[in-house]
Amino acid sequence: MKRREVLIFVAVLLASAILALLATLSLRQWEVSAERRLHEQARDMASMVAEKIETAVLKTEDEGLGSLQLTALDPHFAPEMVDAWKARTPFFDRFYLFDRHGKLLYPRRSNSSDAAMLAGLRAEISPGFWDRGGQRHIQLGDQVALVAVIQGSPQGPLLAVLHRSEQGLRRDILEKTLAGLEGQSLLAVLDGSDRPIYTARPLGRAQHVLSVDFGEALPAWRLALYEPAGLSPRDAVRRQAMLFTAVFILLLGVIAFGLAATYRLVRRESEMARLKSDFVANVSHDLKTPLALIRMFAETLEMDRVPDEVSRREYYGVITRESERLTRLIDNVLDFSRIEGGRQRYDMAPGHVEPIVHEVLEAFRYPLAQQGFKVDVHVEPDLPEVRLDPEAMKQALANLVDNAIKYSGEGRRLDVTARREGKDVCIAVSDDGIGIPPREQQRIFEKFYRIGRSETQGRRGSGVGLALVKHIVEAHGGRVTVESGPGEGSRFTLHVPLPRDV
């Protein structure tokens, strides 16, 4: 990697790390404030419900007391009339009525525990309260009593002590207030020892979130708010935080992936730019060499400096060969540019591969002979016809033969075979040359790709030959394969599919 690439890489990594740190910090902060907000909402809701219950209790008590006052104001009031009132007002289960002298008017008899309680009560009632009148709540043992002075009765001021019945409270207040209220949260009324007295729904494994006090009407009790397991504000926040973390990790993953992809792309682009400039240099060199030869031999012939007929024929031969090589090279480049531009067309028609093999080898007869190649050609007799573009197929095969010559190394052998293999006709070109390492065997078919300079040093080439071979054979519905190893020679095979009915 270049220094600049390393710097960019480190910068992006650093930016991602800072981003991750900031995200973690703000997530923590968000968690805390979200939890606090949810808690406040829960508290608001519980307080509102507690207030509603308290108001309902006070209202029911006021109503009960109002109707009692009416009874007491009756000119013929007698304590027995209270029985009828009591029957109408089941909200109170115990009821006592005193006159100003502390005499118990109702009920007629009291048991001993009542007597103790009433003694305590009398101590709490000041003369001022008798004069002022009104009502208040007094805690008597574990009970709350409503105490009220009733003025204007024929029997003088009376003191009423009312105990609400727990059942009445449950039925008339709690059920009515709590039933319609609950969403997913559960509300419970707890007694002084935090034992649930009333819940609209069973608590099960619900988690206690918070409790709030009632007012003076229910001093020892509290209203508690529960959330079903897994739905408490903390759980909800934790779930959201986990979701956020997962999304963030995904985001970091995408950034990392994007970084890697960009890095690959940049490397590919710069590699491609290098290959392209190599290509231009190679093609120019490839064009120059045959042109120089042609020119040299043509000039020698022109000046009549050739000693004998044999040499003259040889010179003509060189000119022809080199111009053929030029044609092949230019054809390769032009076809390649047509393929790149998507303009390459193939004229497919049924045909035999045998003449193609022979024509190509004929074209290379001179260089093969000159370089001392031992050539073996074997075309299976009666090979069926295949659909092909003869010129394109010749070009593909010529490229393979050209490479076999170019990369022959010491082993000067060329085998060309054509035979049927299953549903294909296979044309294979084998050499005893320098071979190709396995890791390069895919890449050599890429455009402009040439194996490291050391191996190809001195061997001319543009790097588009095999790309062209691949394109041509694939256009025929076939494929090209290679079997090779360094120093073991190579075998390139063109697999051309047979028509379906053969």
CA distances from 129 to 97, 115, 118, 151 (A): 15, 21, 16, 12
| Closest distance of CB 264 from ligand ADP, Å | 22
Question: Looking up tokens 């997913």, which residue turns up?
Answer: 184
Helices marked H in 225-308? 233-302
Q: What are phi and psi of 443, to 5 degrees?
A: -70, -25
The amino acid sitting at 238 is R
Cβ proximity to ligand ADP, 234 vs 460, nearer residue: 460
Span interacting with ligand ADP, options 96-104, 227-235, 270-278, 431-439, rule CB under 6 A: 431-439
Residue nearest to ligand ADP according to CB distances in the complex: 461
A 10 A CB-CB count for 256 gives: 13
Interstrand relation of 411-421 and 424-432 (parallel, antiparallel or unpaired)? antiparallel
Site string for ligand ADP, 372-411 (x = CB under 6 A): ---------------------------x---xx-xx----
Q: Is 463 in the site for ligand ADP (CB under 6 A)?
A: yes
Provide the pairing of β-strand 222-227 with 186-190: antiparallel
| Position among 227, 322, 335, 431 found at the interface with ligand ADP (CB under 6 A) | 431
The nearer residue to ligand ADP, 232 or 282, going by C-beta atoms, is: 282
The span from the CA of 326 to the CA of 287, in Å, is 7
Are the CB atoms for 294 and 322 separated by under 8 Å? yes
Contact between 153 and 56 (Cβ < 8 Å): no
Q: How many CA atoms lie within 13 A of 188 on its CB side?
A: 24
Compute the distance between CA of residue 346 and CA of residue 333 in angstroms, rounded to an integer: 16
Contact with ligand ADP (CB under 6 A) among 64, 233, 290, 433 = 433
# residues contacting ligand ADP (CB under 6 A):
23
Smallest distance, ligand ADP to C-beta of residue 474, A: 15
Under the criterion CB under 6 A, does residue 450 sit at the interface with ligand ADP? yes
Nearer to ligand ADP, 146 or 427 (CB): 427
Q: How far is the CB of 469 from ligand ADP (least distance, A)?
A: 7
Among 466, 480, 496, 498, binds ligand ADP (CB under 6 A): 466
Residue closest to 335 by CA, chosen among 407, 394, 416: 394
Phi then psi for residue 498, to 5 deg, are -80, 155
Residues 375 and 361: beta-carbon distance below 8 Å: yes
Q: How far apart are CA 90 and CA 76, in angstroms?
A: 24
Q: Is 462 in the site for ligand ADP (CB under 6 A)?
A: yes
- Which is nearer to ligand ADP, 435 or 478 (by Cβ)? 435
Residue 461 binding ligand ADP, by CB under 6 A: yes
Among positions 144, 146, 360, 434, the unique one binding ligand ADP when judged by CB under 6 A: 434
Rounded to a whole number of angstroms, the minimum distance from the CB of residue 433 to ligand ADP is 5
Q: Does 368 bind ligand ADP (CB under 6 A)?
A: no
As measured in angstroms, the least distance from the Cβ of 286 to ligand ADP is 8
* Residue 148 binding ligand ADP, by CB under 6 A: no
Q: Applying CB under 6 A, which of residues 465, 473, 480, 495 lies at the interface with ligand ADP? A: 465
From CA 311, how far away is CA 343, in angstroms rounded? 44
Tell me which residues touch ligand ADP (CB under 6 A). 399, 403-404, 406-407, 431, 433-436, 444, 449-451, 456, 461-467, 490
